[in-house]
Amino acid sequence: MAASIAVSIDIRAKRFDGATGLLFDGLTLDVAEGEVLALVGPSGVGKSTLLRMIAGLDTDFEGRITVFGQGADEAGPPGFVFQDPRLLPWLGAAENIRAVSPATTLDEAISLLGEMGLAGYETTLPGNLSGGMQRRVALARALAVQPQLLLLDEPFVSIDRKLVRELHEVIGRIAEQRRPTMILVSHDPEDAARLADRIIQLQGRPARIIAETRVDIARADRDPSRVLGIVAELEARADV
């Protein structure tokens, strides 16, 4: 049986105020329920803007985006992990989660932090957490709303590759165990190669889809050589 469509994108036109050209012009894309989709491409191509449109935060465009059959601005809130963790500096890790999701109990917040590998850091202030740990708190906060849709906007930017790979493992477990529909934005093809079921490459202005790559290898089986092979394929297509 074919998977249900979780997100349907049909953008006829999108431009920024004062800009002469279009950012998107006739962009269409469907995301299946439970799929991990990666959007990759150079900085400025519109990846983060598209994510905000899917989240219903940017409604200034011609066309329609639906999330589980509802308009993006009418659907329930997605889990959203921004480039900047956006943690409240005066609250500990658990209370940062509860500040966004007051219905989350303290025990539930502590459990989420444990799932992120942060057991014992419940009362630690953001300023005393490393950049990678702050990203994990932000991810736990996004999961607190129990989202069907999880949006990740450059979640690995500005942290070293060792911490990135640890975060890859965390997000991979979420994909396998919780099974949300996930859309990941990254400028680094390695992130997509390690995590995505399908990779969409965007390029140009207006942005267009230049390639679509399906990754049929289980995430647990993507050893370094296989990841490098996928990255090489993506880089070759970007050069076409």
Strand segments (E) across the chain: 5-13, 27-32, 36-40, 62-67, 70-71, 79-81, 149-153, 181-186, 198-203, 208-214
Question: pLDDT tens for residues 5-47?
Answer: 999 999 999 998 766 789 999 999 999 999 999 999 998 899 9
Residue 130 burial by CB count (10 A; 0-12/13-18/19+): exposed, middle or buried? Answer: exposed
**Distance between CA atoms of residues 59 and 41, nearest Å:** 22
Per-domain residue ranges for the chain? 5-78+149-238, 88-146
Assigned token pair, 143: 């999961």
- Does pLDDT of 2 surpass 90? no
Q: What pLDDT is attached to residue 239?
A: 64
Per CATH, the architecture of 5-78+149-238 is what?
Answer: 3-Layer(aba) Sandwich (3.40)
**Each residue's pLDDT tens digit, 103-115:** 999 999 999 999 9
What is the C-alpha to C-alpha distance for residues 19 and 114, in angstroms, rounded to an integer?
46
